[in-house]
A and B are shown apart, each in its own frame.
Chain A
């Protein structure tokens, strides 16, 4: 916990700071470098798209940024906390309070209804009156009439809207989205990304999105490219992302 307070003094406007991030995985005979010397800073309220082809390392980067995994080298500071110095449970606590997620494959619990899925992070975070907040959010995403439907009874677009409601439920400081429209057709994808962007603006959340969809990326304030584990920012061509 100390690290959090120490580092939060450095720059109160900084949401995410990545320094010399390198990630390798051991294979049977070889070691594969997935990310190579990534450095990056994202301010509060920014929306950032990380664009790259399949296998470029963008999902790994997202996982490391969100504290789902720890890097081989380098540091990630999320909202003032150095993630690699936190235990797994401390990282979980941090995620519960500060982080929201939207996934390509929705990741709703099939046994829970739409309402219960949205209530889940609220209850994990100890929010009072979780049901009321969940209802409001489902109303906001246009599913006020489908509260008691299970994911199986919902279409892909509807499922992703439930997931978006869930992501904003705990009032996160930062939202990570992994190919949020990747499993949806164009029109549904458009509607879902509209919703995501609108809510992001309304809530003043920092958004970090991984996508290979250029149109979606263009709707973000800032685009980063990743290729073979190296991150670049087009505006500052040739320079490492900053």
Chain B
């Protein structure tokens, strides 16, 4: 049908204002969702690779049994295209000219590190260098503290077992600068091929073989699937996700991005719905005419369906045309933020949500009002017919709500998120209904008059249906935007609270019981007071209710804590950041029982009253579970899976003490004095880890802010679309008012007031609904504590009022600048 084709041409559609709005809304929808999805996928990759550097790889396989893994395991990984590397870690004595020192050796292959970089110096006064390969054969890189302890210098020789190795660099930072309590003494890094020559590592030596793997996520997963059945209990497979320190930050960042993307989907849907409804209204005359000229209802349906499909194509192509350069810019920005090049990674699967968004926006939001055009009576050409009451749209609205929330659900994969947003919206609409009813009741009493306040109030009343619809859309938009702002700030506050500037950055381990007081005093006099000291007893969990634990726990559950010795402790009081989730903490004088960390308890399926047997050295201790508690693993303080009461099951067991403290970087040299005075106490320096975490948090924050800006921009566009949807009516009214003698200033003032009131109401409602949604999100997804956000609640309604007043003034511009005569004719 060529007439339809003619009617359908996009370039002709573009001449129609309402089609422009629909297309722009669609393009923005696709662009926003695509940009966020692409960027989120890129960010996740970047963050994972950034966090991967904590492992110096994407995955590590540790063999704690003192034996290398079978070579075919590595060959298999290589055959899959994975990069591999290996390390051998052991403790040994090294000798310099003036003495000897216990060191922790890390011998690395040429490939090390697969992820991240090593920071070195070629002399104490030289600038720091970043390199991506360890020392070659015959060389060692050492911790600067070792040089001071042994009074050596760069270029000197260090004896490791039978080998004499040349000290070529100072080792400042290694990407996997472990957070392991076993890394005791100063670090020495050498080449793995030299290990045999040292003769230090022999059958039965305490040595750990570590293998590094890096590659595509899917390949790593497949490889692990292959590897898992062959692993022994002494093998531990570690990924970034398992590292307790970062996983929470990463998860939250991801969730935030998903939340942002979901909100973008919602905003897009709202924009398309508003614009297409407006379009459908404007098409009624055309449809009536086409019917009069002989086009059947079916023909009308097909005509508009084809048109919609065409819009979809234009929307998707246009959206991608906007999204790709935007994405490129964001990646550039990310590179700048990270101060390193980021690979431009275009994840095709990240485009799916944007295509689905376009489809859902079009067919769940734009199509229903347009489909109803088929029902427009032909008689409309002769006489205007009663318009839609809005009631027939209710099933469509329900369908649209289900569709969009289904989309959000699919997109974010979080039922909680969907529920929180839906709940927030229901709350919003409920309040809106009440408010609308009140507003109509109140405004009815205002009689028309000359001053701008009255005119504004009468205006609101006269357009009460449109006003309510606009307010609903504004409130929804503001709610979504405010939710994002609120979640962002509480996320950041939370991170900040987790890692304050004076977070402990050094651990002291292996403090003999009789040295505890001296150690405390040593640091107290140097202005670095210690956190709480805890006793530490190494033991294995061996039995559960009298049954060997490996049999008691299902084989499907891989519980890392079972594979190694646990650090057991006793403590009189619950640490501040721990929370009891079940049972009771030990009462005063109570000596029986053990408190278990919640996640471990869940993995082992422990209940209160279960009897746990620990093997400590040659003795066994059995205690019932009396409480289950959560632990802040990322608090950078000593944390324990198992806590006993004082004078409980651990009494008389061989214990050493552990603590953490904050040491100012300027005070770092005090560590040398400390090592000399307390040679048996190990110092674990984690300051660089904390720096890295803070750096990551900062990167994530900046990414989150970039996305927030994008979504706020989308929200503004939605509001502009809604305001301009009623443009023609308002312009006509304005022209009439002027014709009837209304002064320009009166008209401008009353319009601005009307919109300001609308904005203020909408802002208030939006913020209240946002608080509701944030409350639910906090409770369900982000595990934070909720509080009211006055700093956001007060300004949002005001900002909304000002913004809308300006929008209103702006759309009134043609009314004020052109003669009423000309305007009325133009609007005819």
Instruction: List the interface of chain A (C-beta within 8 A of B).
Output: 59-60, 62-63, 66, 68-69, 88-89, 91-97, 99, 101, 103, 107, 109-112, 116, 119-121, 123-125, 130, 170, 178
**Cβ contacts B274-318/A at 8 Å (1 or 0 each):** 000000000001100111111111110000000000000000000
Nearest CB on B from A163, distance (A): 10
CA–CA, A102 and B13, complex, Å = 25
List 10 extra interface pairs beyond A88-B296, A119-B3, CB under 8 A: A63-B379, A92-B291, A96-B293, A96-B294, A121-B294, A123-B2, A123-B3, A124-B1, A124-B295, A125-B294
Within the complex, which residue of A69, A95, A111 is in contact with B293, where a contact is CB–CB below 8 Å?
Answer: A95
CB contact list, B6-22 vs A, under 8 A:
6-7, 12-13, 15-16
Nearest 8 interchain pairs by C-beta: A96-B294, A123-B3, A89-B296, A68-B378, A69-B379, A95-B294, A121-B293, A68-B379
Determine if B382 and A68 form an interchain contact, defined as CB atoms under 8 angstroms apart. yes
Determine if A107 and B6 form an interchain contact, defined as CB atoms under 8 angstroms apart. no
**A/B interface sample: 7 pairs, CB < 8 A:** A68-B377, A69-B379, A89-B298, A92-B378, A120-B293, A124-B299, A178-B382
Contact partners of A103 in chain B: CB under 8 A = 381-382
Q: Does B668 contact A (CB under 8 A)?
A: no
CA–CA, A109 and B285, complex, Å = 9
Nearest CB on B from A230, distance (A): 20
Q: Does B383 contact A (CB under 8 A)?
A: yes
Nearest CB on B from A98, distance (A): 9
Q: Report the nearest B residue to A69, measured CB to CB.
A: B379
Contact partners of A62 in chain B: CB under 8 A = 382
Contact partners of B378 in chain A: CB under 8 A = 68-69, 88, 91-92
Determine if A92 and B15 form an interchain contact, defined as CB atoms under 8 angstroms apart. no
Contact partners of A130 in chain B: CB under 8 A = 2
CA–CA, A116 and B298, complex, Å = 22
Determine if A124 and B285 form an interchain contact, defined as CB atoms under 8 angstroms apart. no
Within the complex, which residue of B6, B292, B294, B377 is in contact with A112, where a contact is CB–CB below 8 Å?
Answer: B6
Determine if B296 and A93 form an interchain contact, defined as CB atoms under 8 angstroms apart. yes
Determine if A111 and B295 form an interchain contact, defined as CB atoms under 8 angstroms apart. no
CB contact list, B364-392 vs A, under 8 A:
377-379, 381-383
Nearest CB on B from A23, distance (A): 11
Nearest CB on A from B821, distance (A): 15
Q: Report the nearest B residue to A62, measured CB to CB.
A: B382
Nearest CB on B from A228, distance (A): 18
Contact partners of A97 in chain B: CB under 8 A = 294
CA–CA, A92 and B299, complex, Å = 10
Interface SS of chain A = helix
CA–CA, A111 and B16, complex, Å = 7
CA–CA, A87 and B85, complex, Å = 78
Determine if B289 and A111 form an interchain contact, defined as CB atoms under 8 angstroms apart. no
Within the complex, which residue of A59, A94, A125 is in contact with B383, where a contact is CB–CB below 8 Å?
Answer: A59
Within the complex, which residue of A60, A68, A116, A123 is in contact with B292, where a contact is CB–CB below 8 Å?
Answer: A68
Determine if A111 and B13 form an interchain contact, defined as CB atoms under 8 angstroms apart. yes
Nearest CB on A from B294, distance (A): 2
Nearest CB on A from B22, distance (A): 14
CA–CA, A69 and B380, complex, Å = 10
Nearest CB on A from B514, distance (A): 93
Contact partners of B382 in chain A: CB under 8 A = 59, 62-63, 68, 103, 178
Nearest CB on A from B354, distance (A): 29
CB contact list, B103-132 vs A, under 8 A:
none
Contact partners of A99 in chain B: CB under 8 A = 294
CA–CA, A59 and B382, complex, Å = 7
Nearest CB on B from A50, distance (A): 13
Determine if A123 and B296 form an interchain contact, defined as CB atoms under 8 angstroms apart. no
Contact partners of B381 in chain A: CB under 8 A = 68, 101, 103, 107
| A124 in contact with B383 given A69-B377, A96-B294, A107-B285 (CB within 8 Å) | no
Most chain A CB within a 10 A radius of its CB, from B12, B16, B293: B293
Determine if A95 and B6 form an interchain contact, defined as CB atoms under 8 angstroms apart. no
Contact partners of B16 in chain A: CB under 8 A = 110-111
CA–CA, A35 and B383, complex, Å = 16
Q: Report the nearest B residue to A166, measured CB to CB.
A: B293
Most chain B CB within a 10 A radius of its CB, from A101, A116, A120: A120
Contact partners of B298 in chain A: CB under 8 A = 89
Contact partners of A101 in chain B: CB under 8 A = 292-293, 381
Most chain A CB within a 10 A radius of its CB, from B7, B15, B295: B295
Contact partners of B377 in chain A: CB under 8 A = 68-69
Contact partners of B292 in chain A: CB under 8 A = 66, 68, 95, 101, 107
Determine if B289 and A109 form an interchain contact, defined as CB atoms under 8 angstroms apart. yes
Q: Report the nearest B residue to A98, measured CB to CB.
A: B294
CA–CA, A89 and B374, complex, Å = 11
CA–CA, A95 and B293, complex, Å = 6
CA–CA, A181 and B264, complex, Å = 52
Contact partners of B3 in chain A: CB under 8 A = 119-120, 123-124
CA–CA, A125 and B15, complex, Å = 26
Contact partners of B7 in chain A: CB under 8 A = 109, 112
Q: Report the nearest B residue to A156, measured CB to CB.
A: B828
Determine if B12 and A111 form an interchain contact, defined as CB atoms under 8 angstroms apart. yes
Nearest CB on A from B152, distance (A): 86
CA–CA, A152 and B296, complex, Å = 28
Within the complex, which residue of B15, B285, B295 is in contact with A96, where a contact is CB–CB below 8 Å?
Answer: B295
Contact partners of A116 in chain B: CB under 8 A = 6
Contact partners of A110 in chain B: CB under 8 A = 16
Contact partners of A69 in chain B: CB under 8 A = 377-379
Q: Report the nearest B residue to A88, measured CB to CB.
A: B297
| A124 in contact with B293 given A111-B15, A119-B3 (CB within 8 Å) | yes
CA–CA, A88 and B294, complex, Å = 10
Within the complex, which residue of A60, A93, A107, A178 is in contact with B294, where a contact is CB–CB below 8 Å?
Answer: A93
Within the complex, which residue of B2, B289, B296, B297 is in contact with A107, where a contact is CB–CB below 8 Å?
Answer: B289
CA–CA, A96 and B1, complex, Å = 14
CA–CA, A112 and B9, complex, Å = 11
Contact partners of A178 in chain B: CB under 8 A = 382
